[in-house]
Amino acid sequence: MSGPTLLDAVLAAFGDTVVRAVRPSSGPNPAITGVALLEPGDRAEPGQLVLAIGARGEQALAMAADAARAGAAALVVKGPATGPEPPLPVVHIDDGVRWDQVEMLARTAVEGSWSDDASVTGLPALAETVATLVGGLVTIEDAAHQVVAYSHTGDDADWVRRETIMGRRCPLPYRDHLREQGVFRRLWPPDEVIAIPAHPAIGANKRLAVGVQAGSRPLGSIWVQHTGTPFSADAAEVLRGASRLAALRMAAPGGNATMAVPPDFAYGLLTGRVDSELLARQLGLDAHTPMSVAAVDLHDPEPDSAAKELHLTQALDVASVYAAAYRHDVYLTRACGLVYLMVPGDGDGVGDWLGGLVAALRQNLGTPAQAALADPVPKVAEIPAAKEQAYQVLLAVAGSGEPVVPIGAVRSKLLLREALDALAAVPGLRGAADALSPELAKSLRAHLDAFGDVGAAAAALHVHPNTLRYRLRRIKEVSGIDLDDPDQRLLAMIQLRLAD
């Protein structure tokens, strides 16, 4: 950046929906040299914008005094603007805004980027993702209608798109047409997705458009040109999610701000490698917030590791767009070749949303993606346990083809696996069934699964009932298992399961 960022510029990045009051209402406009998330008792550095986590009322006033003595530039707190005039500028923000969102907006205004290690590389990657998901040619423009990113262009580009990309700006005749139709007025608020009819006289195919906005501040817009094939059924949902992600990136010079939650934060939540209560406070979560955790496996058949890595990155891009459309507080990260999603709440509706995400991944990446949903956990600290549970569900259903599998669908299978793992260590448990040939073991398993119904078991084996009866006699001769004894039947079943 060319010079220090002034407090007014940070407030503009926050927007009116975040900021509730600034005290004093008039006065200095200090230069911000850095951003710090601090708690009561932490020491600020000169020039910092201090985000005061957990400080309200008298604690906030005390932090303001301490920050002023340390030379901090300003303080950001949640809660009403009350009490005596503070010794440095204090920004009061809405209680419903997460601290990680505030930090992201502040850092992008001050530093120009959240992180250089983003899984989603910026607006060009977003444009390509939206083009793939919606089925069209995407252009992202700033508030002055200047092009800041666009998707790959083929032979389907109309005159307006070609002129827009070549001139880096929407051509004047089409801008005048859109203005006459009231399209620009309808782009705000940004969640409204607008369908714009074709205008053959200008050389414009039909389009979809959505505004991009930070608070009440317009940042730009996203446009999708029709190419002759229908837009996807969930095009509006995708564009709403893309608008929210674009707002995070366009708030920073160069359009490279990353997702609202740094990868380290989300990974820390998932793995428990960082103090969960500290992370929860930084994300604006109560440590006792219930959380739902899902794991997504692409089941990528691609043998090349570089191609697998590309698919995984693309999957995270797609999931980011769908997550932003779904709600504002979905936390995403990747671990061990899987994509994990963490959603505050009791899991209501998450399974249906995951179904749409998996369908999009299957269609656009060409892999048999599959998602597993763990039981909701009662607090943030138990997210790692839910991660392991979701992973175990994926192992249990691999190859089944089911798009989304909640743990309730395979709970008995997982519990049985745990019981068998424990029983495997019992001395002498293996024995009689191990003496059977594969054909006799398969016949015994079918007989036990059919609760002794010879006809049903024979049908499952595709043999005559008399053939099965002969095999059952041989089983007793070879192994000594008495199938009339319920204890021996149970033991035989356990032995067969252990042999799987």
In tens, the pLDDT along 315-358 reads: 888 888 888 888 877 888 888 889 999 998 888 889 999 999 99
Please tell me the distance from the alpha carbon of residue 220 to that of residue 403, in angstroms, as a whole number.
Answer: 36
Q: Percent of the chain, pLDDT > 90?
A: 31
> Per-residue confidence at 156, pLDDT binned at 50, 70, 90?
confident
State yes or no: pLDDT of 22 exceeds 50.
yes
CA 343 to chain CA centroid, Å, is 8
- The model carries a pTM of 0.60
> Per-residue confidence at 4, pLDDT binned at 50, 70, 90?
low
CA atoms in the 13 A half-sphere facing the CB of 97: 26
Q: What is the pLDDT of residue 427?
A: 66
φ, ψ of residue 48 in degrees (nearest 5) = -80, 150
Q: What is the pLDDT of residue 431?
A: 66
**SS3 state of residue 296:** strand
Q: What is the pLDDT of residue 256?
A: 35
Q: What is the pLDDT of residue 119?
A: 33
From residue 435, how far is each of 334, 432, 452, 480, 492 by CA, in Å? 45, 6, 21, 10, 11
Task: Residue count of the chain, please give it.
Answer: 500
- Identity of the amino acid at 21: A
Pairing of strands 338-344, 331-335: antiparallel
Q: Between 259 and 310, name the one with better pLDDT.
A: 310
Q: What is the pLDDT of residue 333?
A: 86
Q: What is the pLDDT of residue 122?
A: 74
Give the DSSP H or E segment for 93. strand 90-93
- The DSSP secondary-structure symbol of 470 reads H
State yes or no: pLDDT of 199 exceeds 60.
yes
Q: What is the pLDDT of residue 262?
A: 53
72, with CB counted inside 10 A (0-12, 13-18, 19+), is: buried
State yes or no: pLDDT of 121 exceeds 70.
no
Tens of pLDDT, residues 169-191? 888 899 899 989 989 888 877 67
Tens of pLDDT, residues 276-303? 777 777 677 788 889 999 999 998 887 7
Are 50 and 111 contacting, i.e. CB atoms less than 8 angstroms apart?
A: no
Are 432 and 495 contacting, i.e. CB atoms less than 8 angstroms apart?
A: yes
- Identity of the amino acid at 113: S
